[in-house]
Amino acid sequence: MEEKHGELCKTITQLKSRLKTPLQEIEAIEEQLAPLYQQERKLHEKSVIVKGERVLGEADSIELKECVAQINKCLRQQKAIEKEHKDDFKRLKKYLKEEKRIRGKDKVYRIDTELDQIMTCFKMSFVNLCSLFLTNCMDHEKFELLTLFESIFQLGGDSFFSDGKKTIELERNPKEPKLMDKLEKGLRVLNTMDIHDLDGRFVQFDM
């Protein structure tokens, strides 16, 4: 993609160099158009619409017609310049559109890559926390992540606050009594690690 983008930029530069004089002429016309468009807009804002027609005072109406005439004159000059170099301008517009598309695609790719990197950091942090919990709290138990999710992390429960402390109370799964006993012992160890939430409250786990 980078190679194709580089070739496109090179071609665009060559075309702009070839069209240097007509592009300068068009730029000069656009500089003339800017204040004319601004004048036209202000006159439109002063008008009122009556039965679908724009109504202006006589002086403003004359000024608007003159302004529109000058705008159309500039646009005709611009079209005439482009017509003299029709093929080159057509190619330039085509390549500029393609360059913009590739640039946008590259931006999306870079954003996706950065998001993947961020998510990888979160995933690795989560895996490390799981490993820490199993090693320090569950007496080096060996569980796959899927088992941890299905048997522990998906347990129902509730949380409540009291005396500046947050208590998270998990519901036992009667179908896995041995695992629940191990988990209860593990939570007791976890509670000795002095865990606090973002608001500085001590977090306690119960079953």
The model's pLDDT over 64-106, given as tens digits with 9 standing for 90+, comes to: 899 999 999 999 999 999 999 999 889 888 888 887 887 777 6
* pLDDT score, position 38: 93
Q: For all residues of the chain together, what is the average pLDDT?
A: 86
pTM higher than 0.75 for the full model? no
Distance CA 138, CA 54 (A): 80
* pLDDT score, position 147: 82
Low-confidence residues of the chain, pLDDT below 70? 1-2, 106, 108-109
Which value, to the nearest 10 degrees, does the dihedral of the CA atoms of residues 150, 151, 156, 162 take?
-120
